[in-house]
Amino acid sequence: MKTFSQWQLRAEFARRLSDMYGREVPAYTTLVDVSRQVNAEVLERSGAEAERFGSIARVTAERHGAIRVGTPAELRQVARIFGALGMHPVGFYDLREAAASAVPVISTAFRPIEPAELARNPFRVFTSLLTPADPRFFDDDLRSRLETFLAGRELFGPELIELAERAEAERELPEDAGERFLELAVGAFELSAEPVDKAWYETLAEVSAVAADIGGVRSTHINHLTPRVLDIDALYQAMTERGIAMIDAIQGPPRWDGPDVLLRQTSFRALDEPRRLRLPDGSVTTGVLRVRFGEVEARGIALTRKGRARYDELMAETDRDTAELGREEAARAAWRDGFPGSEQGLAEAGLAYFTYRLRADRPRRGRPPSSLAGLLAEGWIEAEPVVYEDFLPRSAAGIFQSNLNGEGRRDNSREGVRYDQDWLSGAIEREIHDPFTLYERRQRASIAALHLPGPLHSL
């Protein structure tokens, strides 16, 4: 009998979720279509160069999603479902601090961590947890009403959780069980038809639209699904030409002549969707809520800690110079002066991660040089960029904006629970992997696998 391995479950889950979301949010389908067109054009224009950051098969199937849950117990269930798919929590993001768009959540991303698994299917899900014990957002009364409401709902049924545990433990499922698991898992993230309690939803929306989205309803849903595109500037223009209004701009590094770095993203605002609302007198009416939106992204090279610090400085410099030069010009100037314009420059300055491998046409005689720089220069090895698999807090804060109408309400004078990475890891009851460590390990493993004689100096 056929079985589903973990990666097959992951790829199948991503595909079925995408089909479901496309039926529910037609603008998403437009985004996927336009991404495909743009990718085909880039492939034609640049050939093999276009696949430096992943094969076209990987990139075409590649998606990330975002979900939001209310309690540590719900988050642990999510971790089991993603664990079944070979996805592990990586990185910690605190979106409560973001200046203009603070939202009461902390987040991590579930994704594969092994290179072979990423190559098979890199599906990742940005996962946020509400922070009811942050008194800047919730007073004691609202916090306790919220916690009572959340304790009384069930997002994932026992059958789904049991199948997830089995898939995680056995690293595969027989065909029937796999089919059932996929059906239940995709179903858990569909938008529910159950009426929404209007007064309760609005109470939370006064604090934050994101709080209402998470804690104002008795179910959860995928709130966006993001295809990957090889030229995000071309995509932005094509979407605008089709009359779809995107958020102000593209988040992340600017368009420039140097290597693609980290992550660039853009999105369109949440759309009006008809929903059934329950009024205080018990009657049900139809209204509109805006909870789901579309996003698209381009991925580039993963930066080292040092590279990331440089990146953060350049973003700050861009902010400072924006008033004078305009954002695009300020960004271009900062990057031109402050960042290497080539992959080689990035490698030499230790700003980005690469994997190295022996070249087929390397010299067959003589002693190989004893440094990576020498090996590269004399044609013994070649470097391949490591693609960035994670998210950026600032872009994430920008993406949350797609859900926000007003600023919400916040009282900065009070302090509460310290929601840091250790706290989140304790809540999930799993280790949260450090993204830099994962990239570093990958670079090291590739150097070790060169099996060159003698000690090797790094660049």
Q: Which does 391 bind (CB under 5 to 8 A by kind): Ni ion, ligand OOG, none?
A: ligand OOG
DSSP type of residue 53: T
DSSP per residue over 176-243, as a string?
Answer: HHHHHHHHHHHHHTSPP-SPEEHHHHHHHHHH-HHHHHHHSSSS----EEEEB-S-HHHHHHHHHHTT
* In the complex, least distance from residue 248 CB atom to ligand OOG, rounded to whole angstroms: 15
Quick one: which segment of 61-69, 277-285, 335-343, 415-423 binds Ni ion (CB under 5 A)?
61-69
Cβ proximity to ligand OOG: between 74 and 295 the closer is 295
Quick one: which segment of 62-70, 144-152, 277-285, 314-322 binds Ni ion (CB under 5 A)?
62-70
Q: What are phi and psi of 89, to 5 degrees?
A: -70, 130
User: Which amino acid is present at 179?
Assistant: E
Cβ proximity to ligand OOG: between 6 and 267 the closer is 267
Cβ proximity to Ni ion: between 121 and 355 the closer is 121
Q: Which does 123 bind (CB under 5 to 8 A by kind): ligand OOG, Ni ion, none?
A: none
Cβ proximity to ligand OOG: between 64 and 88 the closer is 64
Neighbour-count burial of 316, counting CB atoms closer than 10 A to its CB (0-12 exposed, 13-18 middle, 19+ buried): exposed
DSSP per residue over 79-122, as a string?
Answer: HHHHHHTT-EEEEEEETTS-TTT--SEEEEEEE--SHHHHHH--
For the chain, first and last CA: distance in Å?
A: 51
Q: Which does 223 bind (CB under 5 to 8 A by kind): Ni ion, ligand OOG, none?
A: ligand OOG
Q: Which does 400 bind (CB under 5 to 8 A by kind): ligand OOG, Ni ion, none?
A: ligand OOG
Give whole-number Cα distances, 293 to 157, 186, 224, 403, 442, in Å. Answer: 26, 18, 6, 8, 34
Which residues of the shown chain bind ligand OOG in the complex (CB under 6 A)?
66, 68, 126, 128, 223, 265, 295, 391, 395-396, 399-400
CA distance 235 to 168: 38
Contact status, residue 404 vs residue 105, Cβ threshold 8 Å: no
Cβ proximity to ligand OOG: between 110 and 126 the closer is 126
Q: Which residue is nearest to ligand OOG (CB)?
A: 396
* In the complex, least distance from residue 366 CB atom to ligand OOG, rounded to whole angstroms: 49
* In the complex, least distance from residue 232 CB atom to ligand OOG, rounded to whole angstroms: 13
Q: Which does 211 bind (CB under 5 to 8 A by kind): ligand OOG, Ni ion, none?
A: none
Give whole-number Cα distances, 147 to 125, 138, 142, 152, 272, in Å. Answer: 24, 11, 9, 9, 28
CA distance 363 to 379: 7
The interface with Ni ion within residues 278-307 (CB under 5 A) comprises 295
Please name which of 170, 197, 168, 202 lies closest in space to residue 185, comparing C-alpha atoms: 168
Cβ proximity to ligand OOG: between 244 and 325 the closer is 244
The interface with Ni ion within residues 393-432 (CB under 5 A) comprises 399
Cβ proximity to Ni ion: between 164 and 399 the closer is 399
Q: Which does 10 bind (CB under 5 to 8 A by kind): Ni ion, ligand OOG, none?
A: none
Cβ proximity to Ni ion: between 9 and 222 the closer is 222
Residues that bind Ni ion (CB under 5 A): 66, 226, 295, 399
